[in-house]
Amino acid sequence: MKIEKGQKLLIIGDSITDCDRAKPEGEGLFGALGNGYVSYVNALLLAVYPELGIRVVNKGISGNTVRDLKNRWQDDVMEQEPDWLAIMIGINDVWRQYDVPFIKEKHVYIEEYEETLRKLVIETKPKVKGLVLMTPFYLETNEQDQMRKTMDKYGQVVKKIAEEYGCLFVDSQAAFNEVLKNLYPAALAWDRVHPSPAGHIVLAKAFLKEIGFKWDRSKLD
């Protein structure tokens, strides 16, 4: 696995990451990591790789856009000094363009999104051992739906930046698309954004696959 013994993994994002995690520090006991994919990632690392002692920190904040991440980056990322960093942001950057179309100061258009995410990656990549970029997603199977089309464009930006700077890349939308071949979107997210436990498992599985997690280690030991 790519994350090594004793390393610290920090995961930052919006409500999909937050999931009622403890504030201000999202780590520790009693549900401190929240009830979403971050908690599942942590649980599986503990259960399957207990000897590695990987420390997982949740720095998601509900409602955040990439603009919000930029404003708290120093406190919530740089001062935390993680060995590994995972970023999933963009859903609210897109969503606000559709659910509050006339409140334009809440919109983060794709040019700002790309410029800001790129700057954060450039600033942080040299200071961590690994950086994982995860795409935003929208659980709509109709690819011509306007919000789905926009979300896909933001996901393409994430992929481009990951390729440019040698980051690991998780296509969250593609992971959901595979499951949605057999399920209606509401089975994974009532509003097509906030996942059910099954939806969070989809995210956790896609993330773990990218970092080289092996589910059945008995075949390796």
Residue 66: exposed, middle, or buried by beta-carbon count in 10 A (0-12, 13-18, 19+)?
buried
- Active-site residue set: 15, 191, 194
Q: Which of 59, 52, 94 is nearest to 76 (CA)?
A: 59
Whether residue 49 contacts residue 1, with contact meaning beta carbons closer than 8 Å, is answered with: yes
The DSSP annotation for 84-104 comes to EEEEE--HHHHHHHHHSTT-G
Query: SS3 for 71?
Result: helix
Whether residue 171 contacts residue 179, with contact meaning beta carbons closer than 8 Å, is answered with: no
